[in-house]
Structure 1
Amino acid sequence: MARVRLIALPLLSVAVFVLAWQVLAAAGWCGETFVPRPITVWRTAIQLSTTRDGVRGYQGYLLWEHLYMTLRRVLAGVLIGTVAGVGLGIAMGTVGWLRAILEPWLTFLRTLPPLAYFFLLVIWLGIDEAPKVTLLALAAMPAAAIATAAAVSAAPVGLIEAARALGAGRGQVIRDVVVPAALPETFTGIRLAVGLAYSSVVAAELFNGMPGIGGVVKDASNYNNTPVVLVGIAAIGISGLVIDGLLRAIERRAAPWRGKI
């Protein structure tokens, strides 16, 4: 019963949302440009995914090709950002003076909107893939680092002292006690990092973003093409849900002791 409820409630919420959307669009208060009908957005999604009358998708690329390029950029940025962030977090959580130095800089970077430094990255790195991946890595790194540092600092003192009493050295304590204890919260930080990278993807694809979902959204917005913008937003959101689900599944396998220590 619980599993049925777990599936039925999200589907019900989607149905209610689509119904409310249809009612608002049918009322005509905002106009088709601002609130297109759900069927219009669905047909647009079909058009972006197929070749019709010699027109292939959007700007010559199908929807899945745009999504693939965006996911490739996000994956590269998230991998770089989370690996660097987790490494920094472990170091900050175990070396107090290092945390005192780095945490203000990470917090400063975390509070900056992506556009605040994206143009600087374009000046430094050009308009190809480098500034896009760098932006996504910088968006992901602070969340992973701060969450990991907090988790490492909160590792159970009793387990650490027990390991030391059994003769474990500093490296062994970190490897066998601190890192496993911090792993669940580290995964939470990684999930936040992925979300922050996703929220930055449109900014990352402002320049030379074709193919890419962010480039599609940006280009379509220039022409008030709301259905295409909504399809792009849906593609980013749905793929983000899938990736978050995969991360939660990996977390359950990698850290089954969550909440038990």
Structure 2
Amino acid sequence: MSTPPASLPPAAPADVPPGPRAPGRRAWAHARRAALPFGSLLVFLALWELLAASGTWSETLVPPPATVWDAFVDISTTHDGMRGYNGTTLVEHLGISLRRIALGAGIGIAAGVVFGLLMGTVGWVRSLFEPWITFLRTLPPLAYFSLLVIWLGIDEEPKVTLLAVAAFPPVAVSTTTAVTAVPTSLIEAARALGASRWGVVRDVVVPSALPETLTGVRLAVGVAYSSLVAAELVNGLPGIGGMVKDAANYNNTPVVLVGIIAIGVSGLIIDGLLLRLERVAVPWRGRA
């Protein structure tokens, strides 16, 4: 009598839970992602210290990190009877500039969303305004800041206006592009179900365009930040951009570097907050 063939072992189920090492691998991946930026910062500081110590450039041009740190402490506190820089601490300078950015960029972003929706849904509006927005988008801020000073004076109005004008085109262009890219099938389906024109815009166009619009908002905030020093060229004190400009006039490189670092770090924080807002507001991004 022949021997029956040996039975194969049962196949492992497809939904086997991950092994005990999976959480450890995830924790290691998170730690590595956090350690890489910190490590790059340490490498940058080491290279900066070596460059300053080499004597290739004078300390006026390339101050060592310790000197910049001392300048940071000095302009953040009251010392020897002097408060901060020009009577204002670093946090106060930064807060005043952030208020200008919030107001100016907020106006530009709101106007950009409205114009983007109009240009994306109404053909003649797009034909009328798109060339002007493209023209405005190609202009550097310094090209029209002097004109704004002539028109509006040297107080807050030209600064806020400059930041609004700088933030407007990225949002308008991204919103227009997103609206025109909404699938026609979705619009026709909404109309077939009895949706009005406003209902189609509210329930179909806006949710579909929102991811790209938020990307335009991030770009607009970045453009506003890059225009900050230009906005505070005239009568910018107090303000972080005005502080950088004033310190540069006296070759005070440590204070200039402190201001640049403050602008960059605050910009990173705000961009991170906008990314978090984007994940919360449009969780369907990349899934539909």
**TM surpasses 0.5:** yes
Unaligned runs of 5+ in 1: none
Q: Could you say which structure has the higher helix fraction?
A: 1
Aligned counterpart, 1:126: 153
Give the CA deviation at 1:34.
1.2
Identity over aligned residues, as a percent? 66
Q: Give the one of 222, 228, 249 matched to 1:195.
A: 222
Once structures 1 and 2 are overlaid, which stretch shifts more, 229-238 or 89-98?
A: 89-98
* Equivalent residue letter for 1:113: P
Q: Give the one of 145, 149, 156 matched to 2:176.
A: 149
Aligned counterpart, 2:121: 94
Aligned counterpart, 2:29: 2
Once structures 1 and 2 are overlaid, which stretch shifts more, 96-105 or 36-45?
A: 96-105
Q: C-alpha separation between the residues in 1 aligned to 2:221 and 2:154?
A: 23
* Equivalent residue letter for 1:52: H
Give the CA deviation at 1:21.
1.0
Give the CA deviation at 1:165.
1.7
Aligned: 1:11 with 2:38: yes
Aligned counterpart, 2:249: 222
Give the CA deviation at 1:55.
0.7
Q: C-alpha separation between the residues in 1 aligned to 2:128 and 2:40?
A: 45
Q: Give the one of 28, 37, 44 matched to 2:71.
A: 44
Once structures 1 and 2 are overlaid, which stretch shifts more, 66-75 or 9-18?
A: 9-18
Give the CA deviation at 1:2.
3.1
Q: C-alpha separation between the residues in 1 aligned to 2:51 and 2:131?
A: 46
Unaligned runs of 5+ in 2: 1-27
Aligned counterpart, 2:112: 85
Q: Give the one of 212, 237, 260 matched to 2:239.
A: 212
Give the CA deviation at 1:137.
0.2
Once structures 1 and 2 are overlaid, which stretch shifts more, 4-13 or 203-212?
A: 4-13
State the Cα deviation string for residues 9-58 of structure 1 (Å, max 9, x = none): 11122111111111111111011111110111111101010000101110
Q: Give the one of 185, 197, 212 matched to 1:170.
A: 197
Q: Name the SS for the 1:8 alignment partner.
A: helix
Which structure would you say has the larger RCO, counting Cα contacts within 8 Å and 6 or more residues apart? 1
State the Cα deviation string for residues 176-229 of structure 1 (Å, max 9, x = none): 011001101100000000000000010111111111001101001111111000
* Equivalent residue letter for 2:131: P
Aligned counterpart, 1:179: 206
**How many residues in Structure 1 have an aligned counterpart in Structure 2?**
261
Q: C-alpha separation between the residues in 1 aligned to 2:188 and 2:136?
A: 35
Q: C-alpha separation between the residues in 1 aligned to 2:121 and 2:93?
A: 42
Q: C-alpha separation between the residues in 2 aligned to 1:106 and 1:249?
A: 29
Equivalent runs, 1:10-89 vs 2, <5 Å: 10-89=37-116
Q: C-alpha separation between the residues in 1 aligned to 2:129 and 2:29?
A: 44
Q: C-alpha separation between the residues in 1 aligned to 2:56 and 2:217?
A: 42
Aligned counterpart, 2:25: none
Q: C-alpha separation between the residues in 2 aligned to 1:17 and 1:162?
A: 55
TM-score, with length taken from structure 1: 0.98
Give the CA deviation at 1:234.
0.5
* Equivalent residue letter for 1:191: R
Aligned counterpart, 1:137: 164
Bigger radius of gyration, 1 or 2?
Answer: 2
Q: C-alpha separation between the residues in 2 aligned to 1:10 and 1:105?
A: 41
